[in-house]
Structure 1
Amino acid sequence: MNHSYTEFAAVYDELMTDIPYDAYVELLDEAAGGIAGKRVLDIGCGTGLLSVKLAKQGAQVTGIDLSADMLAVAEKRARALSLPVQFIEQPMQQLTGFTGYDVAVIAIDSLNYLAEKEDVCATFRHIHASLAVGGTLVFDVHSTFKTDVIFMEGPFTFDNDRIAYIWEVEEGEHPHSVYSELAFFVQEANGLYRRFNEVHNQRTFEVHDYVDMLMEAGFSVERIFADWEDEPPHEECERVFFQVRK
């Protein structure tokens, strides 16, 4: 994965407008029995879109990400809204220094950036250690149908006049993994377009593999659902959600 994210951070928010972050806040509010006043770890927080929404609801939020560029955008966002969110640069599989949190979240397939099963297991173990007893973890991942079928229908293109991209996809080296190369074209103030490239590797696992890893880390699984609906995953779902508890 390209960890620079420098230029990507600047256009990220504009490309994420279709993500229903408010629905995520509702999911967490329900899982936590009310999010206000709760201590929340937003893991893989990116530019802080979800962190800020949770803070607005009265949660005490700590955002974790491995990209300094993404966190710079997140800090600026929280400051502009006078929200007391703390942001820390750390890879999720090495999560350390946190205890007694009520809620942890890994939103919008951030977990899929871990290519090795051991790193996913380590992430779950560290989160388990960071939560208070009764604390909850909610996360979502790509379904294997999405990595194996939908992504393979690429290349994909996007153009909103200011930003355009060409997204080429091929099978990654692991099962259910995807290697993506994106060429972005961003319009500058002078009307000319500037190009930059991004490389992303993502991998997912079967639902039962996640369940095994979660249980091994000490979690009990409360619910598994798909595509933002309160329905169990099915053969052609694209995004699988897990709600588990310590």
Structure 2
Amino acid sequence: MKPYERLSKLYSRDWGKYSSKYTELISNVIENYNLKVHSVLDVACGTGILASELYSRNFEVSGIDISEDMINIARENTRGIDFQVSDMSEFKFNKKFQMITCAFDSINYLTCDAKMEKTLKNIFLHLDDNGVLIFDINTPTLYEERHFGVIDRDFDEIKFKQILEYDKEHKIGKTIFDFGNDGSEIHIQKAYSADEMDKFLLESGFRIMNRYKDFKLSPIDDKAYKIFYVVQKSL
């Protein structure tokens, strides 16, 4: 199966619950940096949970995701948001946004330099002058220390296995969602360090405003599992 073909039906029952934390993070960033934000594009928006929460706070919101299954659910659940099926490196809008978000380690799905560069360039082009991008990445530390083994999942009697593997040499993490006789989904991600991500951002024209290791906006350290970036389109 394609990534999120089956998982899209289950997403909100577990992973989607973190959207509220992300919404608060965005609100805190806006307040801390005194940003003027009315329009938001949520890149890799999934089933639209984060986009919906932002919309409920009176932001003008659009969302894109490469998974048609995820977008179909997003459209069913929320009205008033322009959801589009598109690759994050190729989406096109006839407008720019004051803020773009890309949550829940979606950037890690970009596993080659060329795709990363193309995506960041596309996001840059869709931001207003001085517009802000907020996103997070999983670091090599997370994959090395936590991305292994098998997790048994059970959602309303839908049972499946989440199998975690990591190729340290190539920094490639593989997650297999095994639904038994109903098939499986394979998700491939690449781990990025702060230094690697900083280089991509600076070469794409962004100014790094800050980096945090958690939803509480704590400073990063060498042991950070995740890094939350707040970056700005430089003029």
TM-score (normalised: structure 1): 0.86
Distance 1:155 1:124, change over 3 A: same
Is 2:183 the partner of 1:233? Answer: no
Contact 1:46 1:65 in 2 (8 A): yes
Partner of 1:28: 26
Contact 2:25 2:215 in 1 (8 A): no
User: Once the 2 structures are TM-superposed, how far is the Cα of residue 156 of structure 1 from its aligned partner?
Assistant: 2.1
Find the partner of 2:189 among 202, 223, 229.
202
Partner of 2:175: 180
Is 2:108 the partner of 1:112? Answer: yes
Residue-pair matches, total: 231
Is 2:136 the partner of 1:140? Answer: yes
Separation of aligned partners in 1, 2:211 and 2:94:
26
Contact 1:41 1:61 in 2 (8 A): yes
Q: Unpaired runs of 5+ in structure 2?
A: none
Contact 2:13 2:155 in 1 (8 A): no
Separation of aligned partners in 1, 2:94 and 2:144:
36
SS in 2 for 1:157: strand
User: Once the 2 structures are TM-superposed, how far is the Cα of residue 88 of structure 1 from its aligned partner?
Assistant: 0.8
Partner of 2:117: 121
Distance 1:44 1:132, change over 3 A: same
SS in 2 for 1:175: coil
Contact 1:40 1:60 in 2 (8 A): yes
Is 2:12 the partner of 1:13? Answer: yes
Separation of aligned partners in 2, 1:18 and 1:88:
22
SS in 1 for 2:23: helix
Deviations 1:174-208 (A, max 9, x none): 632111212137xxxxxxxx743111101121101
Alignment RMSD: 2.2
Contact 1:95 1:123 in 2 (8 A): no
In the alignment, residue 124 of structure 1 is paired with which amino acid?
L
Partner of 1:190: none
Partner of 2:54: 54
Contact 1:37 1:58 in 2 (8 A): no
* Identity of matched residues, %: 24
